[in-house]
Structure 1
Amino acid sequence: MNIHILGTGAVGCHIGSVLRAHQNKVTLLLRSTQHVNDFASRNNTITYRSQGKTSLVSGFESAHLASATDNSPIGSLVVATKAHHTLQALSPVASRLSANSTILLLQNGMGIAEELQAKFWSNGQESPRILVGVNRHAVERMGPYDICHYSGYEDADGLIIGEMPSSSGNVKHEGKSELLETITHIPEFQAKQLPWKDVRVQMLKKLIINSCINPVASVLLTKNKGVLSEGGLNVMHNVCEEAYAVLKDELPGETMESLMELVLRIAESAGENSCSTLQDVRGQRLTEIDYINGYICKLGKERGVQTPVNQTLVNLIHAKEVLYTQ
């Protein structure tokens, strides 16, 4: 099996490094010939830092994402691009995916899988098997193909994966996914498969965690642990309160207090990590904020729940983006 990876930020490099360390064939789909040449100049190697050790993981293959000469089928694809880049990034290889293919989405925020189905596999077309992962591994991109893995390798819920139902509500794919089997059998991933309804609950919890930590850390320009100041805690409490009001019917057994405890636990355990939104702000890139706090605001509007604090944070992050994108 050849596992293709789309997106070589922190998450893509982490998944690729661990897969390669277990002798899997991995091909990175890169944005341009220049990126392919740059990776080759680094001997097709990713620098992986974890638990005080540094490893040079080699043996990757790479390919230009939009190569007009490669029409070979893609059987297993891990998508680790930013949420707002997914549709554009996947377009060049969508024709190489079939009902026999498996896609694993590993991104922050929610709504991406639904967008893919509507864009590429609507009107009765049978889509690839779409898996969605809830990833609690804290990984920071230190530089091109250079990452530091802070936490998640000892978390029993480090990576939870579920198969998204088809748009008709029924999963049509039969048999096991080779990609899923491979990932769930690698101890470092702490990965397991759950039914879709359980995965969606985990997705919503991760959404609340990200909506609390990411924008606050990005406004304060701090690592995760920096949000635990009095002011940061007050803002996160307000964010969590709004999010719970929007999502409480989909989170049975949870309270605002239990969700806030989860947020604080993650902020502490991944305290040395810089969240993905802050990494984007520092790299002067557009962020995923519309798929995190923006998604909560969207659902709030649909459900008649006011979300002024979440909307203010969306506005602040977009204001930061304007400063360096214009």
Structure 2
Amino acid sequence: MKYAVLGAGAMGLRYGVLLQEAGFSVDFVDIWDKQIEAVTKQNGVFVSRDGENKHLIPINISSPEDYSGDPDVWIVFVKQMQLENALKRAGHLFTKKQYVVAPMNGMGHIEKLDQYFAEDKVISGTAMIATVLNGPGDVDFMGPSGAGSMKLVNQNETPDEMTQQIADDFTKANLNPEITTNFQGTLMAKVILNSVCNTLCTMFGIKMGEFIQAPTTEALSKQLINEAFDVCERAGITLLNTREQEWKAIQVASTKGMPLHYPSMYQDMSKHRPTEVDYINGYIYELGLKNHYEATTHDYLRNLVHLAEFTSDFDPETLVAKVE
């Protein structure tokens, strides 16, 4: 089976490289010119694991305008706020027979994918896999080989033969997939986890293993979890976990799965890029409003992140925020 990765950032590179190393044909398509230029110039991407054994792996990378391949499956890992533009630029490459897999952070991508792919060919999911993009053409896979796991879920909640084939391929690539049949519940379980770990770690510039040790972590986490579950209950979404299981998942992710990991939201913040907080905590708050409930803690935390984004670009000498 042939794959194309739209979005050759940290996660896109990890999925694509691991599939390529497992023997599958993989192309990379990106909208970030610096990434394309760096990879082209060095004839591949530099890959490390936990900061060690940095080596060059040849990959094929193109812009949407320069790509002419016809993959069986698209794997999409584009930041939520950039997705609409990426899909528009790549739209001429999509065909009716192609499937799309998008285990992205946050919510908001499904509606955009549905404009280009048939509902029975849209597979989303979650990815509990830590990866860091050090810079253009330089990625670090966190954890030992085979670390991390993911869930795959069809939008129509009916796994077909192609879904199973994709899961089998991902298994060969050590991505540890599990197929579920609860679409909204699967996606929201990860959104809730990210609304706690990503956002709080970002606000205080700490790794997940540091975050979980704080004496106030359980109280803060459960406040956010309870609000999110209240929202989902009002929206008619049955989650994969109970409230207590969601807290246990955060503990496991922070102590065993990714203790040395700075979440992707922190990586964006530290590099003065917009974060996806509106698609995580903001999504929970907006979903609550639609169902006559105010998740005020999530809204407060979202606004704090936006304040931190603003101050990270603030020039104290001119008292003016920098404009990119």
Asked if structure 1 preserves the Cα contact closer than 8 Å seen for 2:2 and 2:25, the reply is yes
Equivalent residue runs for 1:109-258 within 5 Å: 109-117=106-114, 119-120=115-116, 126=118, 129-144=121-136, 145-150=138-143, 153-154=146-147, 158-165=149-156, 175-176=161-162, 180-181=166-167, 183-186=169-172, 188-195=174-181, 197=182, 199-228=183-212, 229-248=214-233, 249-251=236-238, 254-258=241-245
Asked if structure 1 preserves the Cα contact closer than 8 Å seen for 2:186 and 2:240, the reply is no
CA distance in 1, matches of 2:107, 2:33: 31
Gaps of 5+ in 2: 314-321
CA distance in 1, matches of 2:33, 2:231: 45
Seen in structure 2, the aligned counterparts of structure 1 residues 242 and 94 have a Cα distance that, compared at 3 Å, is same
CA distance in 2, matches of 1:55, 1:107: 26
Residue number in structure 2 paired with 1:62: 61
Residue number in structure 1 paired with 2:82: 85
TM-score (norm 1): 0.84
2:289 equivalent to 1:301: yes
Deviations 1:91-137 (A, max 9, x none): 111121112011110211123112332x446xxxx468111121111
Asked if structure 1 preserves the Cα contact closer than 8 Å seen for 2:180 and 2:186, the reply is no
SS at match of 1:176: helix
Asked if structure 1 preserves the Cα contact closer than 8 Å seen for 2:75 and 2:101, the reply is yes
Residue number in structure 2 paired with 1:40: 40
SS at match of 2:265: helix
TM-score (norm 2): 0.85
Asked if structure 2 preserves the Cα contact closer than 8 Å seen for 1:136 and 1:152, the reply is no
CA distance in 2, matches of 1:19, 1:72: 17
- Equivalent of 1:102 in 89, 99, 104: 99
Supply the RMSD in Å over aligned alpha carbons: 2.7
CA distance in 1, matches of 2:59, 2:274: 28
Letter in 2 for 1:267: S
Seen in structure 2, the aligned counterparts of structure 1 residues 79 and 252 have a Cα distance that, compared at 3 Å, is closer
Deviations 1:2-40 (A, max 9, x none): 321122222111112211211222211132665433212
Asked if structure 1 preserves the Cα contact closer than 8 Å seen for 2:185 and 2:237, the reply is yes
Number of aligned residue pairs: give it: 309
Residue number in structure 1 paired with 2:261: 273
CA distance in 1, matches of 2:229, 2:48: 37
Asked if structure 1 preserves the Cα contact closer than 8 Å seen for 2:21 and 2:173, the reply is no
Letter in 2 for 1:219: M
% identical equivalent positions: 18
Gaps of 5+ in 1: none
